[in-house]
Amino acid sequence: MKLIFFLLAAAYLLLFILRWLLSLAYLKKGQSSSSDFQEELYTVVQPILSGDPRLENDLLANLQQTEAVEFYWLIDQSDPEAQRVADKICQNPSYAQRIRVFLMEDVPQGINPKSYKIEQIIDELTRPYLIVLDDDSVIDFSKMGELTDYLGENVILTGIPYNQERSNFWSKLVAAFVNGNSFITYFTMAEVKANHSINGMFYILSLEMAREQKLFSAIKDYLCDDLAVADFLHSKGVE
């Protein structure tokens, strides 16, 4: 029994080391890039719901890092708190000129709210690339030049979630778990070219491809929109 336990523990350790090495190899590939991020080519689309006390700070954090990226905020007509936060942020003229607020009708039963809302405004977009971003997520725009080096007409890009919560011991523990597992899961699979999904909190694709494939119409019946996006686009030959 002890021998079996030892062999299992050794196998797990070897697998963990292998995943770590593959993740490091993938991470190292992107660190030689020095491309600039061309902000004027991108629109960030964010379906917004109130309830998170950090909502205003998270929305502001993305605006404060950029000068030319435009933002489309999709807010329920029945959500006055989210509307209040958006109105407050738009009091700053330098932000207001880059923000379009859409007040959305209630989402039909059985339909994915995020996909449904994006479907409603897809024809309003004018810039060549679309960034889908959750309202509780903040992009590290200093890394966007590295990421968008890989962008093309037949590619979807995603990033790994990184939890910055540091308020107490328990939040640090959760952050360590999320961050460690994100690193050795997303990067390992990327290195062996075996990704099957994306991080639905943040992804980038060309507007033309999203329209041509009718992406958000095709997946709005699926509960898990990140897996649905990945599966649908993979079936169309998208990398």
What CA–CA distance (Å, rounded) separates 128 from 119?
Answer: 16
4-17 mean pLDDT = 84
Whether pLDDT at 160 is above 60: yes
Burial status of residue 142 (CB atoms within 10 A of its CB: 0-12, 13-18, 19 or more): exposed
Question: What pLDDT score does 77 carry?
Answer: 95
Tokens of residue 120, six digits = 């409603």
Contact indicator for 91, 101 with CB cutoff of 8 Å = no
Tokens of residue 147, six digits = 């990421």
* pLDDT tens-digit series, residues 137-146: 999 998 898 8
Residue extents of the structural domains in the chain: 23-235
Report the run of H or E that residue 58 belongs to, with start and end.
Answer: helix 55-64
Site of tokens 């943040």: 202
The phi and psi torsions of 206 (rounded to 5 degrees) equal -75, 140
Tokens of residue 102, six digits = 């859409």
Question: What pLDDT score does 30 carry?
Answer: 63
Question: What pLDDT score does 166 carry?
Answer: 67
* pLDDT tens-digit series, residues 188-239: 888 888 888 888 899 999 999 999 999 999 999 998 888 999 999 999 999 8
Question: What pLDDT score does 32 carry?
Answer: 57
What CA–CA distance (Å, rounded) separates 150 from 161?
Answer: 19
Whether pLDDT at 38 is above 60: yes
Question: Among the listed ranges 3-12, 36-45, 64-73, 136-145, which one has the minimum average pLDDT value?
Answer: 3-12
How does residue 31 score in pLDDT terms, banded at 50, 70 and 90? low
Whether pLDDT at 65 is above 90: yes
What CA–CA distance (Å, rounded) separates 86 from 56?
Answer: 8
Q: Using alpha carbons, select from 197, 218, 204, 207 the residue that is nearest to residue 111.
A: 218
Question: What pLDDT score does 195 carry?
Answer: 81
58-82 mean pLDDT = 96
Whether pLDDT at 48 is above 90: yes
Q: Using alpha carbons, select from 62, 215, 218 the residue that is nearest to residue 133.
A: 62
Q: Is 23-235 assigned to CATH 3.90.550.10?
A: yes
Mean pLDDT: which of 18-27, 35-44, 85-94, 159-168 is highest?
Answer: 85-94
Whether pLDDT at 39 is above 90: yes
